[in-house]
Amino acid sequence: MFPATFVSRSKMVDDIDGDCYTKIEKAYNAGMPFFTKAAIREAVRAIDSIVLDGRSDETVPITGIDGATVSFRLRMGEIISGSSTFILKQPLLCYHPIEMMMGLIEPCGACSPSAHDHECACLPMAVCHEADKIDRSTKEIIHYFPISPKLKIQVEFLAYHDKWRASEGFDGLKSIFEGQDGAVKVPHGVNKVVAFGLGSLAWWGQRENSASQHALVLSVRDFLQARGLGKVACYAQDPDYQAVDKEILNLSGITVLDDPRAFLEVDETSVVVSIHPGLPVRQVVADIARPAVMIWHRDTYKQLGPQKADPTSPRVEQMLEKHYVEVEWDFDHKLFGDTAVYVRKI
């Protein structure tokens, strides 16, 4: 992943080790949302204006915790040469968890707060590009993992889907959504499932995990539709999706959205599924909505490691404690990690 080009900053830069860190901590403790739908929507508007409307002179604005707006210029199609050669693809947002902004965990790659020196230290988000590794001479894409033929992926996806439906994990999840144990009740009015970071079906090394997690998404849709309250939409976002993923998932009933658009679908009528993603989904969700149900990995702020893409935070833990009931269920930890179901209190 490569950062977009820094263009300008609307205010003078404060001292990164002093004033900026103080502002970040003060704003966080005061409950200021670091991630908002308005900011995400504005970034999408600017990106679409550039990519779809061809307005190459426009920049993408991101406003920091200190109130300064930083502008980024996109670099799509640019070739980066070094020990390897890359071509920059579509833009996306990089999300900075509070722990990274405060220097408590190591930055995760080129789009960390320090990627543009002090100018971006107070940004909760930045603009970046995915990149394909290419052959220096032919410019053909070099995949990090072999990509299987579409038919083979489809057949295996269906097989893993059937395996999931025959598992204890499926039965346990079904009982939660049907309210069979009587302990919790899934709120009414849920009309969509939004998934983040479930991985590519095309990569052999993670295919069973990815297929099983996408099968879970489809099962949640079916559980909700069985209530007879209308059609339930499914959305998924992952920059690792290949073209074949988008085809297969679309045929199965899952609409693939480019980053950051899936976050705009998260609201009180949604179920969020996110199992060890490569971005801080939990911290973004905690700022923008209170979904009806969340299915994601379980850990605590005390378990924070030196580098983690989706760390929890005091704000996430407060949200779970105040607004949600954690429901245990039996499942295959190899496929789903240490995952829990969180149902919003009624």
The residue ranking higher by pLDDT, 120 or 302, is 120
Residue 117 pLDDT exceeds 70: no
Q: How many CB atoms lie within 10 A of CB 128?
A: 23
CATH, domain 150-344, list 3.40.1350, 2.30.30, 3.30.70, 3.40.50: 3.40.50
What's the pLDDT score for residue 145?
Answer: 79
Q: Is the pTM for the entire model greater than 0.85?
A: yes
Share of the chain above pLDDT 90, in %: 63
- Alpha helix stretches (DSSP H) within 137-242: 150-165, 168-178, 207-225
Measured CA to CA, the distance from residue 175 to residue 200 in angstroms comes to 28
Residue 225 pLDDT exceeds 90: yes
> Residue 7: which pLDDT band, with cuts at 50, 70 and 90?
confident
Residues 142-154: pLDDT tens digits?
887 778 889 999 9
Measured CA to CA, the distance from residue 98 to residue 101 in angstroms comes to 5
What's the pLDDT score for residue 19?
Answer: 72
Share of the chain above pLDDT 70, in %: 90
Residues 233-275: pLDDT tens digits?
999 999 999 999 999 999 999 999 999 999 999 999 999 999 9
Question: Any idea where the domains of the chain sit in the sequence?
Answer: 2-134, 150-344
Q: What is the 3-state secondary structure (H, E, C) of 45-80?
A: HHHHHHHCCCCCCCCEEEECCCCCEEEEECCCCCEE
